[in-house]
Amino acid sequence: MFVFAWRLLRNRLPTKDNLICRRIIQHDNAYCSGGCSSGETTDHLLLRCDHFGMVWHRIYQWLDISFTTHASVKAHFHQFGHLAGLPRSTHSYLTVIWQASVWIIWKERNSRIFNQKNGDLDQLADNIKLMSFYWLKA
């Protein structure tokens, strides 16, 4: 998981825009897996996508926080992990929740591409909560 986060923060995940740059796929296959008509970049897929972006709203509601989503994954990671007004002791918990969120979104993206299965937004949010619990418990 930590290798995934490291690759994510350095824009090294095999998103469609990165695969096009490496000449692995063609430009006509560059649309987001979330079903919107935008190109699939890391920032778009995890934050701005009409479908996957709604997962974050469910996470904000769960945590009972008010949050403005940034345009970049790096800025979002930094702000989410260091929410103002919360004690410093919660920063590591929020970082784990953020990592679980991007991991579940990435797994859902891959499931849509490779298995043609579309998960429900509520199910994705529940999976994030469960994975966060398991990781924090460990």
Model pLDDT for residues 71-82, shown as the tens digit of each residue: 799 999 988 888
Q: Which residue in this structure is represented by tokens 């199910």?
A: 123
> To the nearest 5 percent, what fractions of the chain are helix, strand and coil?
65, 0, 35
Whole-model pTM: value is 0.91
Residue-level pLDDT at 81: 82
Contacts of residue 23, Cβ cutoff 8 Å, sequence gap at least 6:
none
Q: How many CA atoms lie less than 13 Å away from 115 in the CB half-sphere?
A: 8
Residue 44 to residue 73: CA distance in whole angstroms: 9
Residue-level pLDDT at 28: 82
Residue 84 reports pLDDT greater than 70: no
Q: Which band of pLDDT confidence, cut at 50, 70 and 90, is reported for residue 26?
A: confident
Task: Give the number of other Cβ atoms within 10 Å of residue 80's Cβ.
Answer: 22
Structure tokens at 132: 């966060």
